[in-house]
Amino acid sequence: MAQEVLIRNGRVVDGTGSPWFMGDVAISGAKITRVGRLDPGDYDEVIDAGGLVVSPGIIDVHSHSDFSLLVNPEADSFIRQGVTTVFNGNCGNSAAPLNEIWKKHMEEARDITVEWLSTAEYLSVMESRGVAINAATFTGLSNLLVSAMGMDAYDRPPTEEDIEAMKEMLRQAMEEGSYGLSSGLEYDPQSMTDTDALVELCRVVAEYGGVYATHIRSRDVKVVEAAAEAVTIGERSGVIVEGVHWGARYPSDGKTKHIVDLFDKAREGGLDAGFNQVPWTMGDDGVGWCGCTLIEPIIIGSKYTKKGAEFTYEMLKDPEVVEYLRNDLPNRQYGPILAGKRGLLDTWDRFLVAHLEESPEYDGMNLKQIGRRMGKDPFDALIDLLVREGEDYERAWGAVGITSRWDTDFSLLHPNCSVAIDSGSDSPRGPLSEKPVGELVTRAYGQFPYFFEKWVREDRALSLEDAVRKCTGLPAQRMRVMDRGLIRPGQHADIMIWDPEEIRNNATWKNPRVYPSGISKVIVNGVLAEEDNEHTGALKGTVLRAR
Ligand SMILES: [Zn+2]
Ligand SMILES: [Zn+2]
């Protein structure tokens, strides 16, 4: 017989946005069976919530935990912040489908054994290893392009024939449980796929009632045009559109408002459009910061951007390469650093050094300050510091100021915006802890607690109930997962018990692998996954299939 559990004396914040109410929540097996004033005598186990908030577990619709959940099925950094469901395969990159070339590439890049090609195979690998949280996936546009065209995908746009092949693969992925198509049109090889091709692909997704989760072509100068393309794709194909990390980057000139309005208008016309945004970590001056590797300010927007990890230490020491990069700085108007008329030259103060193994005296300073301290141009200072790091220069990380609070709030506070942290799950133990920090890890531990801490408790920009809705009921509804995200009889028992006065992020730029506090218990499918700051080891997550 199923275990009967009662959570007593909770302040129930049910995920709908309605005001909290005092109540007890009964769980039988994996499901919530009753909510109200219930008799504890009827249950095998009673959990006293002691007046803390009892809310649905967090649903992150924009995750990059495709591989990390296989390495660390306990999903440590997610369970510990109350995340009970994630949607992977975002920004055009999913774990499946793969072809043999792409599979080999993934194995080399990620240092893991890939035991699948299709979506069905990927999902069953995850299922057989077990996972602590519920996990769903989109199908990445990159995967379709490379599977159909091989490495040619990086050199030319897809032909009609290629698009037909991609549609077939996408159809198969949808049959096997994918929630839709994701794109990252700012990146190669996806940037060569045009609107018509995307409409063709989204028509397949629409047949299944799926979602087009799009990282649009530009988040800077052309962000409004890029958002309009997402609307066009939705209107022409009939797909559900989800704009991901929805906002214009610094300095936006009010463009975030434009793209939020654009979706409002499109909804009036009947398009099922919504969006999600990351609660960026805010500095004292209202700048929203995002983690980055320190090689980024050097190569970003240059012809070396694509080389990424291949941009070797040797090249940093090659005076010709360094000279090219230096001379190219004024032309670079990429993303976070597009502020000044002189490109990167104006924005060194928006790069923060979090940690250098060989030169820790500069930790916490921005590149402008470091340049001044070293008596050098910030560019030369950074090259010197990276060369000093040696072969492990990629482990040096920092943060880049990418947005303003005003912009972040324009999307984040909108009723149709879910909160997502655009991160991979991480762990301070095992193989994941050995990986360089990079961008994703800096948000992996405490970004949801940070959202509650900053926007609800400190700034009172959102009510507790609204904030919970944005992390639970709303994302579930957007993804059509109608049996999760609420505290209601019949829903799966994914539940978080926490203290709204105590919840806080404890991760810092220098020490990012630190758990948050204020979360008392996390329950996944009726079983305790976290209790009093300990992971119970339970792997009760479900691999979610869209149909
Ligand atoms: Zn993205
Ligand atoms: Zn992303």
pLDDT digits (tens, 9 = 90+) for 442-478: 789 999 999 999 999 999 999 999 999 999 999 999 9
Question: Which ligand neighbours the alpha carbon of 216 most closely?
Answer: 1
Q: How far apart are the first and last CA of the chain?
A: 28
Contact yes or no for 524/541 (Cβ under 8 A): yes
> What's the CA-to-centroid distance between 264 and ligand 1, angstroms?
22
Write down the residue that tokens 């957007």 correspond to: 478
DSSP for residue 480: T
> What's the CA-to-centroid distance between 498 and ligand 2, angstroms?
27
Contact yes or no for 535/76 (Cβ under 8 A): yes
> What's the CA-to-centroid distance between 184 and ligand 1, angstroms?
6
> What's the CA-to-centroid distance between 439 and ligand 2, angstroms?
10
Mean pLDDT of 267-278: 98
Closest CA to 243 of 73, 75, 414: 414
> What's the CA-to-centroid distance between 160 and ligand 1, angstroms?
26
Question: Which ligand neighbours the alpha carbon of 249 most closely?
Answer: 1
Among 25-29, 303-307, 334-338, 426-430, the minimum mean pLDDT is found in 334-338
Among 34-38, 362-366, 392-396, the minimum mean pLDDT is found in 392-396
CA distance 130 to 146: 29
Among 273-277, 375-379, 415-419, 498-502, the minimum mean pLDDT is found in 375-379
pLDDT band at residue 341 under the 50/70/90 scheme: low
> What's the CA-to-centroid distance between 290 and ligand 2, angstroms?
12
pLDDT band at residue 336 under the 50/70/90 scheme: very low
Question: Which ligand neighbours the alpha carbon of 214 most closely?
Answer: 1
Considering only residues 283 and 100, tell me which one the structure prediction assigns the higher pLDDT. Answer: 100
pLDDT at 342: 59
pLDDT digits (tens, 9 = 90+) for 73-116: 999 999 999 999 999 999 999 999 999 988 988 888 777 899 99
Residue 301 has pLDDT above 90, yes or no: no
> What's the CA-to-centroid distance between 414 and ligand 1, angstroms?
20
Write down the residue that tokens 């607690």 correspond to: 449
Question: Which ligand neighbours the alpha carbon of 138 most closely?
Answer: 2
Contact yes or no for 19/462 (Cβ under 8 A): no
Residue 368 has pLDDT above 80, yes or no: yes
- Tokens in use for 3? 């275990």
Percent of the chain with pLDDT over 90: 74
pLDDT digits (tens, 9 = 90+) for 482-502: 999 999 999 999 999 999 999
Mean pLDDT of 392-403: 83
**Concatenated DSSP letters for 276-303?**
EE--PEE-TTSEEEEEEETTHHHHTTST
pLDDT digits (tens, 9 = 90+) for 133-162: 999 999 999 999 999 999 899 999 999 999
Spell out the domain ranges in the chain: 287-402
Q: Give 308's contacts (C-beta < 8 A, 6+ positions apart).
A: none
> What's the CA-to-centroid distance between 422 and ligand 1, angstroms?
7
Q: Is the dihedral of CA 474, 477, 483, 484 positive or negative?
A: negative
> What's the CA-to-centroid distance between 204 and ligand 1, angstroms?
22
Amino acid letter for position 319? P
Q: Is the dihedral of CA 368, 371, 376, 377 positive or negative?
A: negative
Burial bucket for residue 470 (CB in 10 Å: 0-12, 13-18, 19+): buried
Contact yes or no for 254/262 (Cβ under 8 A): no
Residue 337 has pLDDT above 50, yes or no: no
> What's the CA-to-centroid distance between 470 and ligand 2, angstroms?
18
Give the pairing of strands 273-277 and 417-419.
parallel
> What's the CA-to-centroid distance between 215 and ligand 1, angstroms?
5
- Tokens in use for 539? 């792997």
Residue 339 has pLDDT above 50, yes or no: no
User: Burial code of 2-22, b = ≥16 C-beta within 10 A, e = fewer?
Assistant: eebbbbbbbbbbbbbbeebee
Among 21-35, 341-355, 420-434, the minimum mean pLDDT is found in 341-355
> What's the CA-to-centroid distance between 136 and ligand 1, angstroms?
17
Mean pLDDT, rounded, of the chain: 92
Question: Which ligand neighbours the alpha carbon of 402 most closely?
Answer: 1
pLDDT at 302: 77
